[in-house]
Every structure is written in C-alpha cells, then in structure tokens.
C-alpha cells in the first residue's frame, strides 16, 4: 500500500533509470519531485541533468546540483584511509563511502524544501539500497523512503525502454553503449554486469577507462613524494593540495602507470556473491604511502590494534553503517592514533607497481642508535636473555608438568 507523500527528493543522475523513476514518482505517487544530483568527481557533465529535470516540469528551485568533491574526500575518504580500510583484502570501498554523503545531503535538501520523502535508484539485489536507506534513517527517520525497484514491475532493460518510449522519455544513443554497469567518483570507477557475471571470464582491455594496462604504461619509473599531517596527505612533491585536488592528481599519475586495477568476487551484505572490477589508482597510492608513514611514526601495539580493528571498520562501511555509533567509536580511536602520523613518503611508480623507497619524519620512532647492526652504547644485548626466558616461562612450566605426568 502506497503512503501519501507530497514531496520527494530523488537522487537523480539524469540518466535513463533515474529519469524513468522521476516520471514514475510523478505518475504513481502524484507528488512533487525535487531532484538532487551530487558532483563527487565522476567526470560527467552534470548540467544536462538540470535541463532534463526542467523538461519533466521540475521547478527550477527544486533542482539541486551540488559540488561535494571536497567534502567527499576531506570528510569521508580521508577518515576511511586513516584506518587503511580494505574490504575482504582488496576492495577500497569507492562506492560504499560515497553513499552516506549522498544520503546525508539528500535529507538536508528534504528539510530545506519541506519534502516528506526521499527516493533512490538502487536495485533490491545490491548493497546500495542498504547504504542509502541506512543513511536516510540515521539522519531523519520521519522521511518516507521510496525504492522503485522494490515496487514496480519494470525489472528488465526491455521494460524500462518500453516505459521510456510510452512516456516520451528521451533515450540518448551516443555511440556504442557500454555492456557494463558503471559507477564513478573521485575515489574509483566500478564495473559490473555483462561478461563479468562469469567469474572465469577475463574483462576486455577496452573496459578499463582510467588506467593504462601495466604492459602499456611508461617504461620509465616516476618518483613522487607525499607529505602527511595527522594521517592525511597534504602535499604532493612539496606542493600543498586540497583533498579533492590531491586525489584527482594521484588518480592521473597512478592511472598513467597502470596502478589500481582489481578484479574481485565480493560478498554482498544481502547475501549473494558478486563479481566486480575496480580502478582506484589514487587510493591505491594513498594506502601504500599511509602505511609507510605509519611504519615509522606509530607505536607497535597501536599499529597492531589498528590492523585488528580495520576489517570490522571496513565491513561497517561496506554494509552501510557509516553513521552507526560503533563506526564513530572506531573512528575516534583511529583519529587519536594519527596524532603524530606526519612526515613524508617517497614512492616509485612503475608498470602497475608502487614501491616505497623512503620515509622520514621529525617524530619518527625509528631510532638508529637502537636499530643499528653496528656497535652501540644504548642497548645491552644480554638483556634479551631474561626477556626471552620470561616470555617462555609458561612453556617451561607446561613442559615440566607434562614430563612429570
């Protein structure tokens, strides 16, 4: 049974699917629609979305196209990278971390425009429906959530195209359509569907849009240096860059050298496995550099505890729990650990690989007086004997007990 909704904020890209949803909301719910298009650095021209919305009769004051690139990187990507977050060993969470920001802004627009509902274009099979809706509910649980893919019977490409034709929704045909379902933002671009639904099939080289293949990457290595403060990258080759500019620049550099491609089968929150391919060149560089920075500035037990917490933190983001109190608790601990993660890391990029070739910090815990293999005056090697015996004491006691039996 449909709820009575007067005004709905729709996460709107201007593409075929969300254009159909816009019209469907108008027809099925008889409600006023507010369109919200987020610029997260996906590299697409977004003004056509405004033109299309106007053609559907959306009032100019109800069309929002917001540049969220800096907020996205500064307040979502950077905190996640302080944790070195990776889901199931390989996925750098490029789509996962974008959804809570979109949901947050959508609910803000709902309040601003007096809307009583929100809507998204995620299907009933994927993770995004969870991420969007957990975000909505975490920000404003009074809003009615409309998920068309869980309500309508337009469950195939053919039905969508037929609906579009019937209702005069323009279907743009610009060259050959990609066989993949793609999603992009400043952190990554993802590919699903098509031949990727067969996990044994190798993706075509032409699928990859952001990076050279390692075979075709430059034959000469490139050195870069990233400067850190409180766990965040702030300079590249001694030049201070804003968060969004930093990530954009590293994407360009990394993509040129064939860095950041992954092909994985992941476990979705809703239960099934899914195969996806991702390009995350800048993020891959940032992860390598950040771990190198931590290696000389982070206490051993703090570093090990972070590594133990990271899978839980990454799982929370993947499953849509960005606004959950447990994620915020973990973030507070992670951010505390980054207080002295500062200095610079030098990296060598070559044909898909990233090699750390140097790291330095004024607060480095690497002390040559203690670490040297040469003669020193600060470490008595004889002390190690008692240290080893105390750590082995339980083995000694257990061994004697068993022999006596």
- Domains of the chain, each with CATH number or no CATH: 7-69+97-166 (3.40.50.620), 181-360 (3.90.1260.10), 376-404 (no CATH)
What pLDDT does residue 176 have?
A: 56
Is residue 2 predicted with pLDDT exceeding 80?
A: no
* CA dist., res. 81 & res. 247, Å (int): 12
What pLDDT does residue 405 have?
A: 67
What pLDDT does residue 370 have?
A: 66
* CA dist., res. 4 & res. 31, Å (int): 9
* CA dist., res. 139 & res. 141, Å (int): 7
Active site residue 376: no
Identify the band that residue 272 occupies on the pLDDT scale cut at 50, 70 and 90.
very high
- The answer to whether the beta carbons of residues 276 and 266 sit under 8 Å apart is yes
Residue of higher predicted confidence among 155 and 230:
230
- Secondary structure E strands in 69-208: 117-119, 144-146, 181-184, 189-192
* CA dist., res. 124 & res. 150, Å (int): 6
Backbone angles phi, psi at 98, to 5 degrees: -80, -30
What pLDDT, in 10s, does the model give residues 193-202? Answer: 989 999 999 9
Q: How far is CA 257 from CA 21, 213, 280, 347, 348, in A?
A: 40, 8, 12, 13, 10
What pLDDT does residue 42 have?
A: 92
32-39 sheet: strands from edge to edge: 63-67, 32-39, 7-11, 117-119, 144-146
**Element (H or E) spanning 278, and its range?**
strand 273-279
Residue of higher predicted confidence among 399 and 9:
9
Q: Which residues pair with 265 in a beta bridge?
A: 275
222-229 sheet: strands from edge to edge: 239-240, 232-236, 222-229, 343-350, 353-360
Start-to-end CA distance of the chain, whole Å, equals: 73
What pLDDT, in 10s, does the model give residues 116-127? Answer: 999 999 988 889
What pLDDT does residue 175 have?
A: 47
Residue 77 per-residue DSSP state = I
Mean pLDDT of the chain: 93
Task: Kindly name the residue from 181, 353, 361, 364 that is annotated as catalytic.
Answer: 181
Is residue 174 predicted with pLDDT exceeding 60?
A: no
Active site residue 128: yes
**Range 344-354 average pLDDT:** 98
**To 10 degrees, what angle do helices 157-166 and 16-28 make?**
60
* CA dist., res. 299 & res. 306, Å (int): 11
Q: Which two tokens stand for residue 8?
A: 């709905």
What pLDDT does residue 372 have?
A: 65
Least confident span in 40-49, 62-71, 270-279: 40-49
What pLDDT, in 10s, does the model give residues 284-334? Answer: 999 999 999 999 999 999 999 999 999 999 999 999 999 999 999 999 999
Backbone angles phi, psi at 77, to 5 degrees: -70, -50
Q: Look at strands 7-11 and 117-119 and give their pairing.
A: parallel
Could you tell me how many helices (H) and strands (E) the chain has, helices first?
14, 14
Task: Kindly name the residue from 50, 99, 131, 275 that is annotated as catalytic.
Answer: 99
Residue of higher predicted confidence among 77 and 156:
77
Task: Kindly name the residue from 13, 17, 190, 359 that is annotated as catalytic.
Answer: 17
For the entire predicted model, the pTM comes to 0.92
What pLDDT does residue 373 have?
A: 67
* CA dist., res. 87 & res. 312, Å (int): 9
79 contact partners, CB below 8 Å, separation of at least 6: 331, 334, 335
The rounded percent of the chain whose pLDDT value lies above 70 is: 96
Residue 208 per-residue DSSP state = -
Task: Kindly name the residue from 13, 105, 128, 327 that is annotated as catalytic.
Answer: 128
What pLDDT does residue 1 have?
A: 56
């Amino acid at each position: 049974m449909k709820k009575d909704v007067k005004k709905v904020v729709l996460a709107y890209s201007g593409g075929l699917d969300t254009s159909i949803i816009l019209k469907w909301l108008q027809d099925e719910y008889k409600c006023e629609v507010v369109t919200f298009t987020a610029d997260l650095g996906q590299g697409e021209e977004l003004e056509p979305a405004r033109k299309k919305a106007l053609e559907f009769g959306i009032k100019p004051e109800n069309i929002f196209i917001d540049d969220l690139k800096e907020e996205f990187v500064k307040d979502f990507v950077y905190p996640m990278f302080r944790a070195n977050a990776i889901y199931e060993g390989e996925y750098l969470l490029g789509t996962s971390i974008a959804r809570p920001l979109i949901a947050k802004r959508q609910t803000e627009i709902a309040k601003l425009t007096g809307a009583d509902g929100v809507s998204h274009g995620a299907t009933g099979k994927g993770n995004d429906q969870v991420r969007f809706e957990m975000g909505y509910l975490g920000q404003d649980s009074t809003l009615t959530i409309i998920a068309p893919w869980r309500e309508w019977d337009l469950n195939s490409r053919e039905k969508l195209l037929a609906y579009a034709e019937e209702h005069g929704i323009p279907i743009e045909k610009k060259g050959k359509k990609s066989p993949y379902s793609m999603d992009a933002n400043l952190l990554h671009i993802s590919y699903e569907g098509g031949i990727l639904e067969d996990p044994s099939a190798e993706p075509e080289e032409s699928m990859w849009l952001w990076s050279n293949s390692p075979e075709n990457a430059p034959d000469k290595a490139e050195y870069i240096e990233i400067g850190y403060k409180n766990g965040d990258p702030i300079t590249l080759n001694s030049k201070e860059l804003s968060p969004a500019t930093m990530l954009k620049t590293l994407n360009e550099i990394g993509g040129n050298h064939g860095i950041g491609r992954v092909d994985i089968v992941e476990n979705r929150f809703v239960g099934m496995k899914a195969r996806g391919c991702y390009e995350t060149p800048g993020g891959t560089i940032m992860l390598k550099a950040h771990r190198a920075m931590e290696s000389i500035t982070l206490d051993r037990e703090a570093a090990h505890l972070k590594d133990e917490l990271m899978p839980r933190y990454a799982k929370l983001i993947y499953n849509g729990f960005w606004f959950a109190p447990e994620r915020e608790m973990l973030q507070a601990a992670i951010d505390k650990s980054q207080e002295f993660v500062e200095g610079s890391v030098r990296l060598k990029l070559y044909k898909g690989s990233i090699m750390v070739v140097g790291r330095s910090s004024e607060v480095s815990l690497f002390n040559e007086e203690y670490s040297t293999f040469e003669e020193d005056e600060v470490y008595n090697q004889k002390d190690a004997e008692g240290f080893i015996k105390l750590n082995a004491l339980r083995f000694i006691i257990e061994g004697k007990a068993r022999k006596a039996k």
